[in-house]
Amino acid sequence: MTKLTLNEDAVHELLAHADDDEQSTSVYWNEHKNLFDVQSDGTIIGNSVLGNASTKRSFLRDAAHYLLQYPLKKWARQYRTLGQCEKLGRKIAKRTGRQFTYDFLRHVFTLALIQQHRPEKTTVGNTLVIEDGFGTMASLILGHSPDTRVIIVNLTKSLTLDLIYLKRAYPSIGMALVKSDEEMDLALLDTAIRVIAVQADHCDVLYRAPIHLAVNIVSMQEMDLPVVEKYFHILRSNPAKTTSFYCCNRRVKISNFDEYPMGFLKIVSANGVNITIVINGHLFANDPMGIKQLCTDLWI
Ligand SMILES: C[S@@+](CC[C@H](N)C(=O)[O-])C[C@H]1O[C@@H](n2cnc3c(N)ncnc32)[C@H](O)[C@@H]1O
């Protein structure tokens, strides 16, 4: 009988395989994933390129971040739910023992942007986060509604961190690690499971899941083109009636945005660095953060 690997067991299983070779790893990630290790409490040893999840907090640091971020908020001030999304982001950062860094703020901007264009729908159905960093986007999506489920696909080492941080944000949440079609079907049927984790090499299981919203932030750029094509194929073939896709990537890095299999997709914004596209007619407007979204983080 099929049995799911849940919660702490899922984290331990991933930790045990964190250094395994993975076919879906690009040369870039092959190099970078060997530069850091993840411990069971979420501590990173070494240097990771996963973004800033600084745990340094104090009255002065918090105030400095707040003040330095203040001018950045003008990029997103037209989003009706910005205040609400920021409040949620700050709550999650506090619960997970993180500083509310610029990295967190830009994820908050993304949620507010998506909400602007899917006000009724952002928080229902299944959201696929293609990669994440410290579970940030997944935590924000989950924080919005008890009715949504997040599916995260990532390389094993990064996925471990995603799950550890998600569990910190939502200690009683049900998480399952899924490796086969049978396990995916079982997890999708279980309403207590709100996080389904998938290792990138097992991404074929995603074909089983209806995907209502998909999010990819600065990572397809670091994947090989056949891997990007595979994710597009999954999105196009998924059983949901409509799928919205928020995709924001560098134009050229490991993969070249112009070679993504866009097909009929409409490119809404292409300012040289940052792209937002749509699938099945859900139109996301031009991303106002543009180039600045990818600028150097604020390190304090
Ligand atoms: C630069 S980080 C981006 C983190 C986060 N989205 C952000 O904006 O800060 C790139 C992420 O892509 C993930 N990644 C790399 N190759 C992948 C693949 N083939 N499938 C899924 N995720 C992958 C990495 O593990 C990492 O979590």
275-295 residue pLDDT tens: 444 433 333 333 333 323 322
Q: How far is the CA of 24 from the centre of ligand 1 (A)?
A: 11
Rounded to the nearest angstrom, the distance between the alpha carbon of 73 and the centre of ligand 1 is 25
Tens of pLDDT, residue by residue over 100-114, are 998 899 899 888 888
CA distances from 34 to 10, 27, 267 (A): 21, 11, 35
Residue ranges with strand state E in the chain: 5-6, 36-38, 44-46, 125-130, 148-154, 174-177, 193-199, 213-217, 244-248, 266-270, 275-278
**3-state DSSP assignment of residue 184:** helix
Tell whether the model's pLDDT for residue 74 goes beyond 90.
no
Cα gap 5→164, rounded to integer Å: 15
- Which among 63, 72, 76, 145 has a CA at the least distance from the CA of 116? 76
Q: What is the 153 CA–ligand 1 centroid distance (Å)?
A: 9
Find out whether 148 and 124 touch, Cβ atoms under 8 Å: yes
Does the pLDDT of residue 88 top 50, yes or no? Answer: yes
More confident: 33 or 236: 33
* 200 CB within 6 A, ligand 1: yes
Contact status, residue 149 vs residue 194, Cβ threshold 8 Å: yes
Q: Which pLDDT band, with edges at 50, 70 and 90, does 262 fall under?
A: low
Ligand 1 geometric centre to CA of 59 (Å): 31
- Whether 154 lines ligand 1, by a CB cut-off of 6 Å, is yes
pLDDT at 285: 36
Which residues share a beta bridge with 279? none
pLDDT value for 203:
98
CA angle 182, 188, 192 (to 5 degrees): 125
Q: If residue 64 lies in a helix (H) or strand (E), which one and from where to where?
A: helix 59-69
Percent of the chain with pLDDT over 70: 85
Name the closest-CA residue to atom 9, ligand 1: 51
Confidence band of 186 (pLDDT split at 50, 70, 90): very high
Q: How far apart are CA 76 and CA 155, in angstroms?
A: 31
Atom of ligand 1 nearest to the CA of 26: 16
Please indicate whether residue 162, judged by its CB atom, sits closer than 6 Å to ligand 1: no
Q: How far is the CA of 133 from the centre of ligand 1 (A)?
A: 7
CATH superfamily of 122-294: Vaccinia Virus protein VP39 (3.40.50.150)
Residue 12: per-residue pLDDT = 97
Average pLDDT value for residue range 220-230: 91
Q: What distance in Å separates the CA atoms of residue 148 and residue 146, rounded to the nearest whole number? A: 6
Please provide the average confidence, as pLDDT, over all residues in the chain.
83
Q: Which ligand 1 atom lies nearest to the CA of residue 24?
A: 19
What pLDDT band is residue 225 in, cutting at 50, 70 and 90? very high
Interhelix angle 82-95/136-144, nearest 10 degrees = 120
Least confidently predicted of 57-61, 73-77, 115-119 = 115-119
Give CA–CA dist 286/199, Å, rounded.
Answer: 31
Task: Give the pLDDT confidence score for residue 163 in this predicted structure.
Answer: 97
pLDDT of res. 121: 64
What is residue 77's predicted lDDT score, i.e. its pLDDT?
A: 83
- Ligand 1 centre to CA of 152 (Å) is 11
Mean pLDDT value of segment 113-142: 85
pLDDT at 296: 23
| 258's tokens | 């112009």
Q: What's the whole-number mean pLDDT along residues 148-155?
A: 96
Question: Where exactly are the structural domains of the chain?
Answer: 122-294
Ligand 1 atom closest to 224 (CA): 19
Q: How far apart are CA 55 and CA 19, in angstroms?
A: 25
135 neighbors 149 (Cβ within 8 angstroms):
no
Q: Quick one: which atom of ligand 1 is closest to the CA of 132?
A: 6
